[in-house]
Amino acid sequence: MSRVEDRVALLLRALEAGIAGEAGSLPELYSADVRGWSPTVDVHSLDELARELEGRAEVFSELELTAHAAVVDDRAYAEWIVRARHTGPLVVDQDTVIHPTGRPVTMRGVTVAEFSGDRICSFRQYWDEPTLLEGLGLLPRD
């Protein structure tokens, strides 16, 4: 594989690990000093990222990721769609837990990742939160 193909594959594996809550695979995907931001996460190390993913493995099942990615120099960009079923408790914070609804949900988003060598050292992730909340039954659908 070429360096571009390797980076695309790594970014897609990182997206899958984040969605599925697979903290065990993070060291092969991210640098120890990774910096990351999303609407729900702001991390400054691999350990912080792993803590954020704890307990997320059971939140969604029947995961299906579709993504289109490109690499330019040390950056990779992915536009993605995740379809899943909400089958486990989603802990938002200490006071807020969204109990399983069994409903199908769709999340659309974009991830921008920067590489240092063969690991992701920085990422920013954006997604359509209102559509996810609608899918969970927490916002009315238009």
Look at residue 2 in the predicted model and tell me its pLDDT.
Answer: 67
Look at residue 1 in the predicted model and tell me its pLDDT.
Answer: 59
Residues 5 and 88: their CA atoms lie apart, in Å, by 34
Residues 21 and 59: their CA atoms lie apart, in Å, by 8
Alpha carbon 32 to its chain centroid, in Å, reads 18
Regions of the chain with pLDDT less than 70? 1-2, 142
Look at residue 8 in the predicted model and tell me its pLDDT.
Answer: 93
CA distances from 17 to 6, 57, 92 (A): 16, 9, 19
pTM of the model: 0.88
pLDDT tens for residues 16-54? 999 888 889 999 999 999 999 998 889 999 999 999 888
Query: At a CB cut-off of 8 Å and minimum separation 6, what does 98 contact?
Result: 86, 89, 90, 92, 136, 138
Domains of the chain: 3-135 (3.10.450.50)
Residues 41 and 34: their CA atoms lie apart, in Å, by 13
